[in-house]
C-alpha cells in the first residue's frame, strides 16, 4: 500500500481560511522568531548582558515554542482543541510585548518563555487548519501560510530602526495592540475550523497509508540544519554588521535576508504542487550552498546584502514544502507532522543560537559565520536520502521495516 496523506477534498481552496491562517501566522512569528533575535542588541544593552546571556533569550524562546509543539500535536490529533488557535497567538503576542516592562533579565526570560509556549500552541492548530482549507492546492495553501510566518520574521527586524530605536525597549508595550488583532483574526475563523476538525476525526480511520517514521527522522535532521543556518544568520548578523554600518542599517539588511526567504517560501510551495517535493527541497539547499560559502568572506555592506538576498531566497524556499512533505510522511498525525517540522526542527535553532553565542564569546562572531557557511551543504547531503516522491505519491516504496519506511 502506498503511503499518502488523506485525499484532499475535490474542491477549490478555501481562500478566506488560508489567508486568515497566514495573517495570524504573520502576527505570531512577528512577535516570536521575527523580533526576538533582532531585539538581542537592545536586550544586551538594557540589561548589560554578554553574548551567551543574550543568546539564551533566543534559546528560551525557541525551546518553549518547539519542544511543546510535537507534544501538543499528539494531543490535538486525538482531541478537538481548537481553542488553542486564538489562545496561543494571543499569548505569544501579549507576553513578548510585556518584556518592554520587564524589570530584570530573569523576567525577560520568563515572558519570552510564555510567548514561546503561546506560539507552540498556535502552530500545530494553524498548520492543520491550513491543510483543511487547502482543497487540492496543498502546496500553494501551505506556501501562503508559511509566507505569513516568514513575512513576520522579516518585518520583525524592521521594527528596530523604524520604531524601537526611538522609543527604547519600553516601546514594545505598544505592540499589545497586535495581541488584540491576533485574537480577533483567529476567533472569527473558529466555527468553520471546529467543524473541519470534527469531520476529520470521524474519517481518520479511513486514511490510506502508514506513517513513515524513518523518513520523518531524516527530514527533521535536514530541517534542524536549515534552521541553524537561518536563525544563526538572523541572530548574529546585526552584531557583525555593526562594524560596517549602524544598528538600524544592519537590521534593514536582516530584513532583506528574511524578506527574500519569504519570497522563496511562496515560490517553492507553489511549484511543489507540480514537482517532486524531494526535488524542491534538494534544489533549495543546493542553491543556498555557494552563497553560504561566500558569506564569511564578504566585507562590503551592499555585497553582503546581495549575497544574503540570494542565500535567504534559496535556504527558505523549501520551508512550506517540508511541511507538506512531513504531512505525507505522517498521514495519520497531521498536527504532529506540523509540530515536528515547524516546532522541533525550527526550535533546534535556539539550541544552535546558544552554542554559537558561547563560541562568539570565546572566538568572535566571525568564527560563527564560518560555521554557518557549511550547514546548507550538510543538509543537502542528508536530503539526498529522503524517500522519492512525485505529485503527492511515493516512488519506489521500500518494504516495511526498511530504514526509511
pTM (predicted TM-score): 0.70
Indicate the domain borders of the chain.
15-394
CATH code for 15-394? 1.20.1250.20
Residue 173, Cβ density class (10 Å: 0-12 exposed, 13-18 middle, ≥19 buried): middle
CB atoms closer than 10 angstroms to residue 171 = 16
For the chain, what is the largest distance between any 2 Cα atoms, rounded to a whole number of angstroms? 61
- Model pLDDT for residues 27-65, shown as the tens digit of each residue: 998 888 778 877 888 898 889 888 788 888 988 887 788
* 393 phi/psi in degrees, rounded to 5: -125, 150
**pLDDT at residue 346 in the model:** 64
The crossing angle, in degrees rounded to 10, of helices 213-241 and 138-159 is 20
Contact yes or no for 330/216 (Cβ under 8 A):
yes
Higher per-residue pLDDT: 168 or 209: 168
State the alpha helices, DSSP H only, in 242-276: 247-271
* H and E: helices and strands count for the chain: 18, 2
Distance of CA 303 to the CA centre of its chain: 26
**pLDDT at residue 302 in the model:** 75
d(CA 150, CA 143): 10
- Model pLDDT for residues 269-323, shown as the tens digit of each residue: 888 888 888 999 999 999 999 988 887 777 666 788 888 899 989 988 988 888 8
d(CA 90, CA 180): 7
Q: How many CA atoms lie within 13 A of 66 on its CB side?
A: 23
Amino acid at each position: 500500500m502506498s503511503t499518502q496523506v488523506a485525499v484532499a477534498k475535490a474542491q477549490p481552496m478555501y481562500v478566506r481560511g488560508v489567508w486568515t491562517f497566514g495573517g495570524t501566522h504573520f502576527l505570531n512569528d512577528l512577535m516570536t522568531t521575527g523580533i526576538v533575535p533582532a531585539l538581542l542588541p537592545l536586550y544586551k544593552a538594557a540589561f548589560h548582558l554578554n553574548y551567551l546571556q543574550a543568546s539564551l533569550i533566543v534559546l528560551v524562546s525557541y525551546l518553549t515554542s518547539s519542544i511543546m509543539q510535537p507534544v501538543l500535536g499528539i494531543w490535538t490529533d486525538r482531541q478537538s482543541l481548537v481553542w488553542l488557535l486564538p489562545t496561543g497567538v494571543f499569548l505569544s503576542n501579549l507576553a513578548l510585548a510585556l518584556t518592554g516592562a520587564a524589570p530584570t533579565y530573569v523576567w525577560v526570560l520568563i515572558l519570552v518563555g510564555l510567548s514561546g509556549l503561546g506560539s507552540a500552541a498556535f502552530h500545530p492548530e494553524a498548520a492543520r487548519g491550513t491543510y483543511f482549507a487547502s482543497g487540492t492546492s496543498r502546496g500553494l495553501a501551505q506556501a501562503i501560510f508559511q509566507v505569513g510566518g516568514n513575512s513576520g520574521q522579516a518585518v520583525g527586524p524592521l521594527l528596530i530602526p523604524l520604531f524601537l530605536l526611538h522609543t527604547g525597549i519600553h516601546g514594545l508595550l505598544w505592540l499589545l495592540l497586535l495581541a488584540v488583532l491576533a485574537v480577533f483574526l483567529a476567533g472569527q475563523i473558529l466555527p468553520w475550523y471546529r467543524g473541519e476538525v470534527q469531520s476529520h476525526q470521524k474519517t481518520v480511520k479511513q486514511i490510506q497509508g502508514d506513517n513513515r517514521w524513518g523518513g520523518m527522522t531524516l527530514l527533521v535532521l535536514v530541517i534542524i540544519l536549515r534552521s541553524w543556518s537561518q536563525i544563526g544568520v538572523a541572530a548574529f548578523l546585526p552584531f557583525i554588521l555593526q562594524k560596517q554600518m549602524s544598528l538600524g542599517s544592519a537590521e534593514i539588511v536582516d530584513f532583506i535576508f528574511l524578506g527574500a526567504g519569504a519570497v522563496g517560501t511562496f515560490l517553492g510551495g507553489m511549484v511543489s504542487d507540480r514537482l517532486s517535493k524531494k526535488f524542491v527541497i534538494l534544489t533549495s539547499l543546493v542553491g543556498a550552498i555557494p552563497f553560504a560559502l561566500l558569506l564569511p568572506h564578504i566585507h562590503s555592506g551592499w555585497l553582503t546584502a546581495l549575497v544574503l538576498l540570494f542565500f535567504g531566497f534559496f535556504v527558505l524556499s523549501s520551508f512550506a514544502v517540508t511541511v507538506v512533505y512531513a504531512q505525507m510522511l505522517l498521514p495519520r498525525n497531521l498536527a504532529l507532522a506540523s509540530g515536528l517540522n515547524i516546532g522541533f526542527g525550527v526550535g533546534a535553532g535556539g539550541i544552535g543560537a546558544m552554542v554559537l553565542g558561547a563560541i562568539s564569546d570565546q572566538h568572535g562572531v566571525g568564527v560563527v559565520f564560518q560555521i554557518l557557511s557549511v550547514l546548507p551543504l550538510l543538509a543537502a547531503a542528508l536530503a539526498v536520502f529522503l524517500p522519492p516522491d512525485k505529485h503527492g505519491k511515493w516512488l519506489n516504496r521500500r518494504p516495511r521495516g526498511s530504514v526509511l519506511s
